Chain A
Amino acid sequence: MKKEGKKKIWSEYQKEIADDHFFYVRSCIRQSFFPGSEQFFLNFMRNVLGKDVYENPSHTTCTGIGYHSDIVPFATLMTVVARHFALMKESGYKNIAISCVTSFGIYTEIIETWKHFPEELEKTREYLYKATGREFDIPENMAHTSDIIYKFRNEIAALAKNLLINKKTGEPLNIVEHIGCHYSKMFPKHGVGGAEFPNVLGGMIEAWGGKVVDYPERRHCCGFGFRQYLVQANRGYSLSNTAKKFSSMKPFKADLVLTNCPGCTMFMDKWQYTIKEMEGIVYGEEGESIPVLTYEELAGLVMGYNPWDLGVQYHMVQSEPLLRKLGIAYDPDNKFKTKDGRQMPVPENLINV
């Protein structure tokens, strides 16, 4: 494989990412399943880099999951998103930072739609005004929060306490990245590195000392499929797509799966558990499963945060094998403690324990 070819592609997909003053919108899945990740992002941006990131308490869902499971009409979706743009305008922000890949895809799709069908923009303005009395501007800069971490990856590298290197062997860790379909497959120019060889996570991995592993099903969907997961009868679709990815990945002996999209993180984590339960199959080395982390969790580990404050223990696949490879001295006793240090019950039947 020739790196030069990838670099050439990357040079053609360098999106502009704002430097400061972000209007932040949360992800329903990331905040529910990986709240420590969103917390890390805000903390890092505000307290480490000293950036202005504003969260308006009144912002809501984008209704994206409803839209992609076909119960929310496109006009409704556009108007809900327009409301976020209105909140942003009212608070005086022009750059939006989006914590969810599907939201990011939807925002991009809507803005592209407005470009192609200006009458839809006008209709949305009317709807929003009628419903809320609000008016909006289209953001000047739109970034997924991983774009922003990518932008500041070298700042993180400079602060690194743990590089992505196997402390025992001295070799870089093998890291699989999963970008999430809605990040750039719809609009490659809006993603760092485009759609075929996206570099948003790859750039972080390399900046932090790891090695990016390509494998045949790298571009394949995690299998969320919206209605294909939301309805129990369809979950075989979701499960099977993840299984397809992991079977293809297995020979590459990945130490970690790094994900961009909160949904993918959840599925690639939880489906490993389900497949193990159903079929007795695991995809890691020595009978273990492969930890799946968000980019915020990984950035936190690189910067030396306490893994248990990042919330990596609240995945099904536990991260201890990875922490050991990284040589991170973690405190097992601190793993299931409350904020003020009270011992909580210890959950049973987790994976990789």
Chain B
Amino acid sequence: MFSMDGQIVIVGGGAAGMESAGQLARSGYHVTLIEKETITGGHVRNWYHLFPDRRDSREVIKYFDDLINHKNITLLTGLKVEGIDKHGMSFIVNTNSGTEIKADAVILSTGFDLFKSERKEEYGYGIYDNVITSADLEVMFRKGEIKLHNGVIPGKIGIIHCVGSRDEKVGNLYCSKLCCVTAVKQAMEIKEILENARVFCFYMDIRMGGALYEELYRESQEKYGINYIRGKVSEVSVNIDNKLVIKAEDTLVGRPLKMELDMLVLMAGMEMSESSKSISESAGLATGENRFFSPADHHFGSNKGNVEGVFYAGTCTAPMNITETISHARAVVSDVIGYMNNGDR
């Protein structure tokens, strides 16, 4: 029986890792939280405002920072977990520094990587100056200015949904779920900074599944005049004036459509993080067709791995928003406590 003396290692100091660490610590468990970057916070730190309520991400970061500032938490940053070996009922967590950390239970909160948009070659990210990603746009929002590569203010901005999601060509058949609402949120924020800009979203389906998302979508049309065109952009090129020229089909009228844009924002999807691959291989953890960790059961065991004592929290199992990530991270706490207290397991 480990009980409260046992060691719990949490891999990944983003939203899921920080939340589960904080909750376990408050329940009296000793937790080691390992983050590969020099600071915690993960992707949240790169975002400006969060949906649906447009909260400044810094508020969320502050909440997390306060949460993990706890005597029961040992925080190790700049340390990358390379593999996990199970010996009997305990684990050895191997890191890139050579340090081995013993654990009685491991929570993987290794998160996601943003899809590398240059892989959608036809959109020319990394080639055409004014093709940017949703993440690049958040950086501009934080600075409070949206400018083209040459410093000029863009007048016409396109947004492409499903970049790297629902796309066999890049091997991702799944929906990343958050890009649609990100597009809506970013479209509105563009209009807040650039009142006269015209914004066009190119979508296949608008998936507004979260709380208050559909309302946000409606608001974007009603108050901000955002235009939605149903058709996946097929290709992007540049003309002599360095304007982007996009081709799509306006599928609801059944005709090809051509449009010039000053700037194009790609809604990059979510992929299983590169850094979790070696962990998955070393510990024999199952992954799904979508390459994310495959939970033991989609209904009753969404926090459990196929290896006993390994648990999952957050987007290492599937795309999630921050609200869902926090809920998932709180749920893992209950599973881990159950595991730690159960002598014969």
Q: Which of A42-50, A70-78, A129-137, A212-220 contacts B (4 or more CB under 8 A)?
A: A212-220
The 8 Å CB contact of A1, one of B125, B235, B238, B245, is: B238
User: Which residues of chain B are within 8 angstroms of A216 by Cβ–Cβ distance?
Assistant: 237-239, 245
CB-based contact B125/A5 at 8 Å:
yes
Whether A4 sits at the interface, judged by CB under 8 Å, is yes
Min Cβ gap B310→A in Å is 34
CB-based contact A5/B126 at 8 Å:
yes
Bitwise interface map of A from 216 to 234 toward B, beta carbon under 8 Å scored 1, else 0: 1111000000000000000
Whether B215 sits at the interface, judged by CB under 8 Å, is no
Whether A197 sits at the interface, judged by CB under 8 Å, is yes
Q: How many residues of B contact A (CB 8 A)?
A: 15
CB-based contact A1/B129 at 8 Å:
yes
Whether A115 sits at the interface, judged by CB under 8 Å, is no
Please, which residue of chain B has its CB at the minimum distance from the CB of A253? B240
Bitwise interface map of B from 237 to 255 toward A, beta carbon under 8 Å scored 1, else 0: 1111000010000000000
User: Which residues of chain A are within 8 angstroms of B128 by Cβ–Cβ distance?
Assistant: 1-2
Whether A8 sits at the interface, judged by CB under 8 Å, is yes
Bitwise interface map of A from 1 to 18 toward B, beta carbon under 8 Å scored 1, else 0: 110111011000000000
CB-based contact A6/B240 at 8 Å:
no
Min Cβ gap B24→A in Å is 42
User: Which residues of chain A are within 8 angstroms of B237 by Cβ–Cβ distance?
Assistant: 214-219
Min Cβ gap B279→A in Å is 26
Whether A252 sits at the interface, judged by CB under 8 Å, is yes
Whether A19 sits at the interface, judged by CB under 8 Å, is no
The 8 Å CB contact of B238, one of A195, A196, A197, A214, is: A214
CB-based contact A197/B127 at 8 Å:
yes
Give the complex CA separation of A196 and B127 in angstroms: 12
User: Which residues of chain A are within 8 angstroms of B56 by Cβ–Cβ distance?
Assistant: none
CB-based contact B238/A194 at 8 Å:
no
Give the complex CA separation of A136 and B260 in angstroms: 52
* Contact A219-B235, Cβ < 8 Å, known A194-B121, A196-B121, A197-B121: yes
Min Cβ gap B147→A in Å is 17
Whether A236 sits at the interface, judged by CB under 8 Å, is no
**Contacts of B302-340 to chain A: CB distance below 8 A:** none
* Contact A6-B235, Cβ < 8 Å, known A194-B121, A196-B121, A252-B240: no
Please, which residue of chain A has its CB at the minimum distance from the CB of B241? A251
Q: Could you say which interface size class chain A belongs to? A: 20 to 34
Bitwise interface map of B from 160 to 192 toward A, beta carbon under 8 Å scored 1, else 0: 000000000000000000000000000000000
User: Which residues of chain A are within 8 angstroms of B126 by Cβ–Cβ distance?
Assistant: 2, 4-5, 8
**Contacts of A153-194 to chain B: CB distance below 8 A:** 194
**Contacts of B204-245 to chain A: CB distance below 8 A:** 235, 237-240, 245
User: Which residues of chain B are within 8 angstroms of A1 by Cβ–Cβ distance?
Assistant: 127-129, 238
Whether B118 sits at the interface, judged by CB under 8 Å, is yes
User: Which residues of chain A are within 8 angstroms of B124 by Cβ–Cβ distance?
Assistant: 5
Min Cβ gap A180→B in Å is 17
User: Which residues of chain B are within 8 angstroms of A194 by Cβ–Cβ distance?
Assistant: 121
User: Which residues of chain A are within 8 angstroms of B239 by Cβ–Cβ distance?
Assistant: 215-216, 248, 251
Min Cβ gap B168→A in Å is 14
CB-based contact B238/A8 at 8 Å:
no
User: Which residues of chain B are within 8 angstroms of A5 by Cβ–Cβ distance?
Assistant: 118, 124-127
Min Cβ gap A211→B in Å is 15
Please, which residue of chain A has its CB at the minimum distance from the CB of B126? A5
User: Which residues of chain B are within 8 angstroms of A214 by Cβ–Cβ distance?
Assistant: 237-238
Whether B145 sits at the interface, judged by CB under 8 Å, is no
Give the complex CA separation of A214 and B239 in angstroms: 8
User: Which residues of chain B are within 8 angstroms of A9 by Cβ–Cβ distance?
Assistant: 118, 121, 127
Whether B122 sits at the interface, judged by CB under 8 Å, is yes
User: Which residues of chain B are within 8 angstroms of A251 by Cβ–Cβ distance?
Assistant: 239-240
Min Cβ gap A200→B in Å is 16
Please, which residue of chain B has its CB at the minimum distance from the CB of A197? B121
Min Cβ gap A157→B in Å is 25
The CB with the most chain B CB atoms within 10 A, among A216, A248, A251, is that of A216
Give the complex CA separation of A5 and B238 in angstroms: 15
Give the complex CA separation of A216 and B235 in angstroms: 10
Give the complex CA separation of A252 and B239 in angstroms: 9
Min Cβ gap A188→B in Å is 8
User: Which residues of chain B are within 8 angstroms of A219 by Cβ–Cβ distance?
Assistant: 235, 237
Give the complex CA separation of A115 and B245 in angstroms: 38
Min Cβ gap B240→A in Å is 4
Give the complex CA separation of A195 and B122 in angstroms: 9
Please, which residue of chain B has its CB at the minimum distance from the CB of A9? B121
Min Cβ gap B47→A in Å is 25
Give the complex CA separation of A16 and B58 in angstroms: 51
Give the complex CA separation of A36 and B245 in angstroms: 38
Min Cβ gap A174→B in Å is 12
Min Cβ gap A9→B in Å is 6
CB-based contact A2/B129 at 8 Å:
yes
Give the complex CA separation of A219 and B237 in angstroms: 9
Give the complex CA separation of A9 and B237 in angstroms: 16
Min Cβ gap A194→B in Å is 7
Q: Which 8 residue pairs across A and B have the least CB separation, nearest first?
A: A5-B126, A5-B127, A196-B121, A251-B240, A216-B237, A216-B245, A196-B122, A216-B239
- A-to-B contact residues, CB < 8 Å: 1-2, 4-6, 8-9, 194-197, 214-219, 248, 251-252
Can you list 5 A-B pairs, Cβ within 8 angstroms, ordered by A? A1-B127, A6-B127, A8-B126, A196-B121, A197-B121
